Amino acid sequence: MARQLGILAHAFGQKPLSQLALEVGKAGFGTVQLALSKALSDIDCSTGRLSPGLGHHVAEAFDRNGVRIAVLGCYIDPIHPDSDERRRNVRRFKEHLKYARDFGCSVVATETGHLSTYMKDFPTDYHKKAWGILRHTVYELSEEAEKWGVTVGIEPAVSLVAQTPEEMRRLLEEVPSTALGVVLDGCNLLEAGNVDRQDEIFRTAFELFGDRIVSFHAKDARIRHGGARGKAALGAGDVNVPLFLSLAQQYKPFADITLEGVEGEMIAQSLDYWQQLWEVRV
């Protein structure tokens, strides 16, 4: 059962490819979400360096350890206020889209940029300004994804431009591309002010775009007391993980689920919790 769960590769640190792949496999995970530059210390994955051969090399190293690359993480800032920097971000993401299938996957994931990006210069309509740029960028990336037969996975979160299930649905409607999907992390939709409504928020998210979800993040955190959210092993925080995973199973029973927000001993603790919960549910 553990092999159904994946993990962010850089949860094990930035390491040489062969060592990282070995450690992920030995830990019992079947998939990874791989952010190349964050995870690999011995391969130059900067923009312009990717190729089919590099993709195959990386995929084969993980495959030898029983691990599949489920998602490429390329967490750019799609609304960066410097247009030149934004173009560099877009170029990097497009390169990931082009070679995603050589890494053995079909999803490249990112977020939507910080909500406060334009607050100083546009105090009364900063969200409108950011939304317009986000929509334009996501439209361009989705067009590129269509060329390569892959998917742009957008991850909404409370501090970002697409911060609620309703806004994620709006983005899907305003960028009507079949190459656009959702990476859903239930924890990222929560903050101290709404954590007591999390069951409603989770159900709303699945109702609004359950059919467009391409991957899940399984994450827990200590949220209820406000301030900086505290990391927690899966099942040890304030997130209703059983409900979230139950909805994931209902709407997308074979979708990849990636463990996030853990390090050190929390990795093994989270895996134990997952095994107990998943065995009960399946």
- Tokens standing for 141? 């990336």
* Structure confidence by residue, pLDDT tens digits, 261-272: 998 999 999 999
> In 10 A of CB 135, how many CB atoms?
18
3-state secondary structure at position 194: coil
- Cα 239 to Cα 218: distance, rounded to the nearest angstrom: 10
Over 90: is that where the pLDDT of 280 sits?
no
Over 70: is that where the pLDDT of 2 sits?
no
Q: Predicted confidence band at 163 (pLDDT cuts at 50, 70, 90)?
A: very high
Over 80: is that where the pLDDT of 225 sits?
no
Q: Predicted confidence band at 127 (pLDDT cuts at 50, 70, 90)?
A: very high
Helices (H), 100-125: none
- The predicted pLDDT at position 224 comes to 84
CA distances from 164 to 35, 116, 215 (A): 25, 15, 17
Residues 6+ apart with CB under 8 A from 177: 139, 142, 143, 145, 146, 152
Over 50: is that where the pLDDT of 102 sits?
yes
- Cα 206 to Cα 192: distance, rounded to the nearest angstrom: 21
Alpha-carbon torsion 77, 255, 31, 278, what sign? Answer: positive
Mean pLDDT, residues 119-148 taken together: 97
- Cα 20 to Cα 156: distance, rounded to the nearest angstrom: 28
Whether 202 and 242 have beta carbons less than 8 Å apart is answered as no
Ranking 3-12, 60-69, 237-246 by mean pLDDT, the lowest is 3-12
Whether 195 and 222 have beta carbons less than 8 Å apart is answered as no
Q: Predicted confidence band at 71 (pLDDT cuts at 50, 70, 90)?
A: very high
- Cα 13 to Cα 42: distance, rounded to the nearest angstrom: 13
Q: Taking all residues of the chain, what is their mean pLDDT, rounded to a whole number?
A: 95
Whether 116 and 126 have beta carbons less than 8 Å apart is answered as yes
- The predicted pLDDT at position 1 comes to 43
Mean pLDDT, residues 238-252 taken together: 95
Instruction: Give the E-state strand segments of 22-173 in sequence order.
Output: 31-34, 68-73, 107-110, 151-154
Percentage of residues in the chain having pLDDT higher than 70: 96
CA distances from 49 to 45, 52, 53, 151 (A): 6, 10, 11, 21
- Tokens standing for 224? 């209820």
Q: What pTM was estimated for this model as a whole? A: 0.96
Mean pLDDT, residues 155-173 taken together: 97
- Tokens standing for 275? 């095994």
Cα 157–Cα 160–Cα 164 angle in degrees, nearest 5: 50
Mean pLDDT, residues 82-100 taken together: 98
* Structure confidence by residue, pLDDT tens digits, 3-47: 579 999 999 999 999 999 999 999 999 999 999 999 999 999 999
- Cα 99 to Cα 50: distance, rounded to the nearest angstrom: 7
Segment holding 86, helix H or strand E: helix 83-99
Percentage of residues in the chain having pLDDT higher than 90: 92
Partner residues linked to 68 by β-bridges: 31
Segment holding 180, helix H or strand E: strand 180-185
Mean pLDDT, residues 74-94 taken together: 97
Q: Domain 2-281: which CATH class?
A: alpha beta
Mean pLDDT, residues 86-99 taken together: 98
- The predicted pLDDT at position 11 comes to 95
* Structure confidence by residue, pLDDT tens digits, 201-218: 999 999 999 999 999 999
Q: Predicted confidence band at 230 (pLDDT cuts at 50, 70, 90)?
A: confident
Partner residues linked to 151 by β-bridges: 107
